[in-house]
Amino acid sequence: MKPTHLSLCSLLVAAVSGLGIFPAWAAEGPDPRQVELAVARLLEQGHYSKKKLDDRFSQRMLKNYLEQLDYNHLYFTQGDVDGFVKRFGNTLDDDILLGNPDAAFTVFEVYKKRVESRMAWAKQLLGEEFSFSGAGTVELNRQKSAWPASEGDADRIWRSRIEGELLQETLNKHKVDPPAKVLAKRYDQVLRYLHEQTNEDVMKTFLNVLALAYDPHSEYMSRSEVETFSINMRLSLVGIGAELSSEDGYAKIQRLIVGGPAAKDGRLKVGDRVAAVAQGEKDFVDAVDMKLDRVVEMIRGKKDTMVRLQVIPAAAEDPSRRDVIEIKRDEIKLKEQEAKAEVIERPLPGGGVQRLGWIVLPSFYADMERSGAPGAKSTTKDVLALLNRLSKEGIEGLVIDLRRNGGGSLEEAVNLTGLFIKKGPVVQSRDGAGRFHVSEDTDSSVAYDGPMVVLTNKLSASASEIFAAALQDYNRAVIVGDSSTFGKGTVQTLLEIGRAIPSVGNGAGALKLTIQKFYRVAGGSTQLKGVEPDVKLPSPFDRSDIGEVALKDPLPYDTVEPVQFSRLERPLFKDELNVRSRTRVGVDPEFSYILEDQDRLKKIVAENQLSLNLQKRQAEIDEEKARKEKRIAERAARKQDVAAGAAAFARPEYKRYAVTLDNASKAELQLVTNEGGKGSEKEGAKPSSDDNGGADLDEVADGAKSVDAVRNESLNILTDFVELSRAGKGPSAANSPRSTPIKRKR
């Protein structure tokens, strides 16, 4: 019987197989033309939008490719751009669908020549004298500026840019080398990176731009990027446990992971440079001037195999010295990215202590390849272990901190929601054909039923938004944070191209493809709009340039019909919590600092100019330094007032006990806050470096330490929530299991 249609993969196999008529490319791995056609067909037929590659698409993609290479409009001239548009503007779609990558390489070769020429010109200019005494300025961000009209226009732009960089290095009080030498090395590094680019790298960039033209979250990934993605999801890798960075042509040891083979061995040190790598007893492969991801790929390998490194020790006085270090590879757990928790003890005004729980969740991770297997990583399993310990400690309220959580596994978002509701639908999804699927929690057990706050910001995205939106729709938790979350309401799948289309061959990378949009059970969408909080707090991340709306070509916002679910009918006291919070925020100096910094940043972005006058710049630096010192002094004074009990705005001092996956089942918890170094500290406890009653400290852009005011106020909101719940018969922690661990059926 003759089939009426072919599957997506069958169509692609047939199309790609016909590419044999073209001459072979001189490149390692799969033919780039086959990969290009495969990616194009997968996007056309598999992407949620079902957009076709046409002339309009060609023009947009060409513009995006030029800006991907030259994002600050510094190297190409308007003449270059006009020439590219004339040659490829209306034919790029046809070339892609024919598997013809000429446009990618032609544009890149012009870009390469422009960069080489500009770096040579810039290094010559470094020999000139600059007075830094005029009224000139340099444009900070040229992404929205016109391309230079001519080479002369480009020279003018670059002259002010180089003058600005020289002035910046002149103002650098910690410099070792003369400013011109620093910049010369920087320009050499630009050229080094440029010359490291292979045909595979060029195609990777081009195909990624092709995917991004469909939406901001579709992406072409190389082999090494696929492995990195997998590592981030399962929170483990097999290697030696060393983080590398690229410096002067060498892979330099940036950090050793605690508990990893290299750290246990002890011979490899931070700052050592890798000159060559060998597998077991095989010959060394020179790693100097090799791309960093290639060096990393050689160092990684199978568990229990040996790798030999030829290194230049950081402490070596003789630059010709080479040490050989042999290390056995092993599995390394990335514990820093796991969920972690704290028990927070806060003194109550009338005496006594209140115990609150705080869980930080960096991402929604899961071991996709070993899902359900014993020992496989799971966000839900880890959070459940932490919750059981927090409940055993008798917490009266809980904060789930999703700030900076960019998402991850959709399944984990659904399962994690299930820890806090009895059962029911969690999220709806719709594919490109209009078919709906509802993801449900089917387990009626609840791990925690007390007062709960979910803390978000503009960097909380995707799975974080599913979780926060579901708990908001169910009336289960109070959402606190920025004016909205990120606004990513789409679902992606990872397609390994070699598996989807075997004729392309192995090593073709993968396509992260947007295949669905997700919707709240109440019918709304998080796409573009995100999740709006019940209580809004000022935040350094609440900016217009962060979020889905700031990205290119996002999918539109829309809504669907709600599904039936059982909303919890109990008070969350949102109006009263807002009134109390606004009163505190209005007199909190830390929030006034945040608002002041936001205003300053808005002004800088709007002006988009930096002075090239030495005196003016020094005055700005002095002003910034004085502002920083004033805040430090004000914080110190407030701390003394708190100690004396005479603060106009006093924060309660409190203690924090760490709850990790390693110690959740142990009898003793580690004290991580110990104000004044005295009191009830336990043996082995270490005081934190906090300067504000146990508040976390964040690094801000200027390098100064700033109190995490959002964290402090979130705890205040939770304390209010607990108090109001007791008085108004809202959610009570007494209903949650404090001593009996919960086991999920799934």
Give the domain CATH number at 270. 2.30.42.10
Domain-embedded: residue 24: no
Q: Which two tokens stand for residue 557?
A: 């916002």
Is 102 marked active-site?
no
Per-residue pLDDT of 444-485, as tens digits, reads 999 999 999 999 999 999 999 999 999 999 999 999 999 999
Burial (CB < 10 A; 0-12, 13-18, 19+), residue 381, is middle
- Alpha-carbon distances of 253 from 241, 277, 289, 300, 312, rounded to whole Å: 10, 14, 15, 14, 11
Q: Which residue has the higher pLDDT, 732 or 381?
A: 381
pLDDT at residue 694 tops 50: no
* Residue where the block lists tokens 């203690």: 655
Q: Is the pLDDT of residue 734 over 50?
A: no
Pairwise CA distance, residues 49 & 191, whole Å: 39
Beta bridge partners of 511: 220, 495
**Same domain (yes/no): 578, 596:** no
Are residues 207 and 279 part of one domain?
Answer: no
Q: Based on the fold, state whether residues 501 and 603 are members of the same structural domain.
A: no
What does the pLDDT look like over 523-567, one tens digit per residue? 999 999 999 999 999 999 999 999 999 999 999 999 999 999 999
Q: Is 269 a catalytic residue?
A: no
What is d(CA 319, CA 316) in angstroms, rounded to the nearest whole number?
7
Residue 304 located in a structural domain: yes
CATH number for position 667: 3.90.226.10
- Residue 432 in any domain: the answer is yes
409, 462, 611, 714: which one is catalytic?
A: 462
Residue 658 has pLDDT above 60, yes or no: yes
pLDDT at 232: 85
Confirm if 399 and 356 have CB atoms less than 8 A apart: yes
CA–CA distances in Å: residue 192 to residues 202, 204, 507: 15, 19, 25
Residues 207 and 160 in one domain: yes
The domain boundary, picked from 333, 356, 386, lies at 333
Structure tokens at 25: 């490319």
Q: Are 552 and 499 contained in the same domain?
A: yes
Read off the pLDDT of each residue in 731-744 and give the average, rounded to a whole number: 46
Q: How does residue 234 score in pLDDT terms, banded at 50, 70 and 90? A: confident
The one catalytic residue in 252, 377, 488, 639 is 488
Instruction: Give the sheet arrangement for strand 452-456, strand by strand.
Output: 535-536, 478-481, 452-456, 397-401, 353-360, 340-347, 655-659, 670-671
Three-point CA angle 659, 662, 664, nearest 5° = 45
The answer to whether residue 507 is domain-embedded is yes
31 pLDDT band, cuts 50/70/90, is confident
Domain with 380, as residue range(s), is 338-588+650-735
pLDDT of residue 28: 57
**Is residue 462 annotated as part of the catalytic site, yes or no?**
yes
Q: Taking the chain, what is the end-to-end CA distance rounded to the nearest angstrom?
A: 43
Beta strands 397-401 and 353-360, pairing class: parallel
Catalytic residue among 272, 473, 588, 690: 473
Pair (240, 124) in one structural domain: no
Q: What is the number of structural domains in the chain?
A: 4
- How many Å apart are CA 83 and CA 81, to the nearest integer? 5
Give the position of tokens 């936001």. Answer: 598
Note whether 311 and 322 are within 8 A (CB).
yes
Confidence at residue 673, expressed as pLDDT on a 0 to 100 scale: 54
Q: What's the average model confidence in pLDDT over 209-233?
A: 91
Query: Do 463 and 512 reside in the same domain of the chain?
Result: yes
Which amino acid belongs to residue 1?
M
Domain match, 436 and 359 both: yes
* 3-class secondary-structure state, position 280: coil
Q: Could you tell me if residue 679 is left (phi over 0), alpha (psi between -120 and 50 degrees) or otherwise beta?
A: left
Closest CA to 178 of 169, 186, 187: 169
Residue 154 has pLDDT above 70, yes or no: yes
Last residue of a domain, one of 278, 304, 333: 333
How many Å is the Cα radius of gyration of the chain?
28
Same domain (yes/no): 488, 554 = yes
| 385 contacts 441 by C-beta, under 8 angstroms | no
Stated as kind and residue range, the H or E segment containing 124 is helix 102-125
Same domain, 597 and 627: yes
Contact (CB, 8 A) for 48 and 431: yes
Cα gap 10→17, rounded to integer Å: 11
pTM to 2 decimals? Answer: 0.86
H helix count then E strand count, the chain: 20, 25
735 pLDDT above the threshold of 50: no
474 CB-near residues (< 8 Å, 6+ apart)? 421, 424, 521, 565, 566, 567, 568
User: For residue 218, is it within any domain?
Assistant: no
Please check whether residue 744 lies inside any domain of the structure: no
Asked if the structure places residue 742 within a domain, the reply is no
State whether 143 and 267 are in the same domain.
no
CA angle, corner 20, sides to 16 and 22, nearest 5? 110
Give the whole-angstrom CA distance, residue 376 versus residue 370.
6
Give me the count of residues in the chain: 746
CA-CA distance, 262 to 281, in Å (whole number)?
19
pLDDT at 746 over 50: no
The mean predicted confidence, pLDDT, of the chain is: 87
**Does residue 44 lie in a domain region?**
no
CA distance 128 to 123: 10
H or E element in which residue 698 lies:
strand 697-699
Looking at 178, 213, 248, which one is the last position of a domain?
213
Q: Does residue 533 share a domain with residue 609?
A: no
Q: Between vectors from CA 473 to CA 467 and to CA 476, what angle results, nearest 5°?
A: 75
Q: Which long-range contacts (CB under 8 A, 24 or more apart) does 582-591 make?
A: 584/713, 584/716, 585/537, 585/538, 585/713, 587/648, 587/649, 588/649, 588/709, 588/713, 589/634, 589/638, 589/649, 590/706, 590/707, 590/709, 590/712, 591/537, 591/538, 591/709, 591/713
Question: Using CA atoms in the order 23, 28, 32, 38, what is the torsion angle rounded to 10 degrees?
Answer: 110
**If you ran DSSP here, which 8-state letter would residue 24 be given?**
P
